[in-house]
Structure formats: structure tokens, C-alpha cells
Amino acid sequence: MSPTLTPGARRILDVAAALFYERGIHAVGVDLIAAESGVTKRTLYDRFGSKDALVARYLQERDERWRDAVRARLAALDTPAERVLAPFDVLVPWTAANERGCAFVNAFAELPDPGHPGRAVIADEKRWLRDLLRAELAAAGAADPDGGALVLLLLHEGALATTGAGGLPGAAEAARREAAAVRDRALTR
């Protein structure tokens, strides 16, 4: 969980998050973020230290919102087999509200330096999702939860990328249908 922010820092982060997602990380400078937030650049740097740290915090908060949505869906489901599809259930409304696709994939494309603090957040988010899928498949009795989790992750990420880059309506719904088929095959082996 991220530490609590001052009202000014919260405003900076909210503005930066919207701008980074809509325009791209490199297209948005700290001058624009400060101006849109109604703060000085000095305040921005005092609160976050650097643009790189601000980018990492943006990604971290987005990851927390995603995980919270998935966890809420998991809590609403009764059986392990149903729980396998929880990330896909959440993906449908998530992609409807986030037309530029996956913020993590978008950021990864803009952050070539493996040492950028945002890259660790991106890797952790993908690892968390794969681990979740693996655990739910195992709990449901899949013979190969590792292999099934990889296929499900590929479907999930493909739907996100297709939504953003391809603008194909229904990608998340199609991915959920295929995920159910992958799950069913994994549970009958």
C-alpha cells in the first residue's frame, strides 16, 4: 500500500496519472504536470524527487487499483474454477474505461532502461497476475497450473494490447470466453 499523500501531492499524482496514460510518459513534462496541478515544479520535486519516481508511483497506484478490483471479484466467487476467470471478469469493465490498453505495456515501451523504477512495478504486476492465475488453477485441480497460467496470462495481455493498439471492440469478452475454454481443458486433464 502506498503512503498517504499530502493534498498537493495527491493533486500532482492524479494529474500526472491522467496525462501519462492519455498522452504517454515522454510526451508529458514536469512543467505541464506542475501547471495542470496548480503547483510549482519545486513542489513537484519536493513531493516526488524526480519524474522517474512520479512515473513509478503512478504505475504503483494503477497496479493497486487493478489488484483491488481483482480481489473484490475473487471475494464474490464461490469455487476455485470460477476464481480462475476473475481477472477476465474484471478485464471487461476495465478495458471499457481504459481505451488506451494496458498502462504497464504502454509504459514498458517508453522505459527502455531496465533500472528505471517503473520497470520494477511493471514486472511485479505481471508476475502477480501470473502467480494468481497459477494459484487459482492449482486450487481448482489443474494438472499443469504453470502452463495454464502462462496461456491465460497471454490471453489476458493480448486482450489489453488489442484493446489499446487495435481498437477492437469485444477483445476482453473474447479473451474471457477463450480463458474459460483453457480453464476447462486444464481441469479435465
DSSP string, 49-96: SSHHHHHHHHHHHHHHHHHHHHHHHHHT--SHHHHHTHHHHHHHHHHH
Task: Calculate mean pLDDT across residues 17-44.
Answer: 96
Q: pLDDT value at position 3?
A: 66
For the chain, state the CA radius of gyration. Answer: 18
For residue 137, give the 3-state DSSP assignment: helix
Q: What is the mean pLDDT of the chain?
A: 93
Look at residue 165 and tell me whether its pLDDT is greater than 80: no
19: containing domain: 1-49
* Of 4-13, 76-85, 163-172, the least confident: 163-172
Q: Distances in Å between the alpha carbon of 138 and those of 31, 80, 131, 152?
A: 49, 9, 10, 13
Q: Percent of the chain beyond pLDDT 90?
A: 83
Lowest mean pLDDT among 80-84, 102-106, 166-170: 166-170
Residues 80 and 2 occupy one common structural domain: no
Say what the pLDDT of residue 84 is.
97
The CATH code of the domain that includes 153 is 1.10.357.10
Its pTM stands at 0.91
pLDDT band at 10 (very low <50, low <70, confident <90, very high): very high
Tell me, yes or no, whether 164 and 109 share the same domain: yes
Give start and end residues of each alpha helix (H) in the chain: 7-23, 30-37, 41-48, 51-75, 80-84, 86-97, 103-110, 117-140, 145-161, 171-188
Residues 79 and 12 in one domain: no
Q: Higher model confidence: residue 101 or residue 189?
A: 101
